[in-house]
Every structure is written in C-alpha cells, then in structure tokens.
Amino acid sequence: MKYQGVIFDLDGVLCFTDKYHYKAWKAVADEIGVYFDEQINNRLRGVSRMDSLDIILERSTKSYSAEEKMQLAEKKNDLYRALLADMTPADLSDEVRDTLNALKKAGLKLAIGSSSKNTKFILERIGLNGFFDAISDGTNISRSKPDPQVFTMAAEFIALPPTACLVVEDAEAGIKAAIGGGFDSAGLGEAAACGKATYAMHSFKDLLGICL
C-alpha cells in the first residue's frame, strides 16, 4: 500500500458543520451589527475560532479588546454547540462510514487532524467516538492551519513519518498545512479545486482507489 496512515480533517470532510458555524457566527455578527454572509463564512474553513473572529471583525468599525473577543467567541461556541447537539449518527453518510471501515480493515492507521476544539463532541454525535487510532485537534495545538502542527502531531500520535501518511482536506489552508508538513494530500471541494493537493477527489470513496 502506498500509505500506512490517513489523517482526516473533520469539518467538511467527515461531516458538514458549515451551516452550523454560519448560523452561530451570523447571530453574533448581527448582534454587534457587523455584516456577515456565506462568502465570508467560506473564508473560515479550516481556520481556528479566534482567527475566524478576526476575519469577521475586519468589517467592524469598532475595535474590540482581547476580553471582548473572548466573550464573542464564547457566545458563538455556545450557540454552535447547541446546534451540534441536534446531530446524530444519521449525519454520517453511508459513503463515509463504509470507506472508513474499508480503510481500517485494510490495516491503515486512521487519525483526525482538525482545528476544532469541538472534535470529540462532534465525533460522539455522529457515532465515531473511539473509532480513530488518534485525535489531533484544536485542543493540542498552538498554531492553526495553514501551519502543519495539527497534522505533524497526528502523525506522531500514530507513530508514522509524514511521508507514510495521506492528509484528507476540504480547505486550501489544510492543503497548505499538509504541504508544509511534508504530507501527500487528497482534496475535496475547494481543496480539490485549488490545484495544490496531490490528489483531487470528486467523492470521499475515491480514497479507496488512492490508498488500497
């Protein structure tokens, strides 16, 4: 096999939380009177919560203290988690579930590499709690994508060098992080279209052809 491990981004790859991020950020932006739309939301893909807030506040005429920013981010996260609570294992598609099972059965080590501090909560909601060999997420990193740290740590957790791992991403920031860390990458959506991924995928199950 070409790879011994696969590191998956979570949001936009295994499940679709964009609409919840959007709703929660939109409520916060509306409350402080800052313009926010789906296009700006697309720029938040793969970006940490605080960096996302900075992007949203680019449109603000007022400047916010670090403490005020923490409060806004906390408010967004409370709203976001209330929306996530509605997710169930039915939010994991059959295609993603079957592909993950086939990769695992083939003996590949599987890890998560996500900027989200809500990773474990989301994995529980969609029925993937305990499925992965390792989780590297927003709780163990100090630098957000496009820095490679989240993937480098995931590879360490599964005891493989970057060259033995494939990173799966939907965000250009994630593909840049993979490149920076010396990983091959497989892109979906925007990450497939950016022309920088090792493989451009049309669909999640394309991983079977790449890895097996």
Q: How far apart are CA 198 and CA 140, in angstroms?
A: 26
Binding positions for ligand BG6, 124-153, rule CB under 6 A: 138
Using CB under 6 A as the binding criterion, the count of chain residues that bind ligand BG6 stands at 17
* Residue 48 binding: pick among ligand BG6, Mg ion, none (C-beta 5-8 Å cut-off by kind): ligand BG6
- Based on the shown chain and the rule CB under 6 A, indicate whether residue 162 belongs to the binding site for ligand BG6: no
Nearer to Mg ion, 34 or 150 (CB): 150
Q: How far apart are CA 2 and CA 160, in angstroms?
A: 13
Six-digit token pair at 39? Answer: 């296009």
What is the helix (H) or strand (E) element at residue 85, kind and residue range?
none
Q: Is 11 labeled as catalytic in the residue annotation?
A: yes
* Residue 170 binding: pick among ligand BG6, Mg ion, none (C-beta 5-8 Å cut-off by kind): Mg ion
Q: Is 98 labeled as catalytic in the residue annotation?
A: no
Draw the binding track, 137-176, toward Mg ion (x: CB under 5 A; -: no contact): ---------------------------------xx-----
Measured over all CA atoms, what is the biggest interatomic distance in the chain, rounded to whole angstroms?
54
Question: Going by C-beta distance under 8 Å and a sequence separation of 6 or more, which residues neighbour residue 180?
Answer: 146, 147, 148
Nearer to Mg ion, 34 or 122 (CB): 122
* Cβ atoms of residues 150 and 115 within 8 Å: yes
| 164, burial (CB in 10 Å: exposed 0-12, middle 13-18, buried 19+) | middle
As annotated, the active-site residues are 9, 11
Give residues in contact with ligand BG6 (CB under 6 A): 10-11, 21, 44-49, 52, 77, 114-118, 138
Give residues in contact with Mg ion (CB under 5 A): 9, 11-12, 170-171
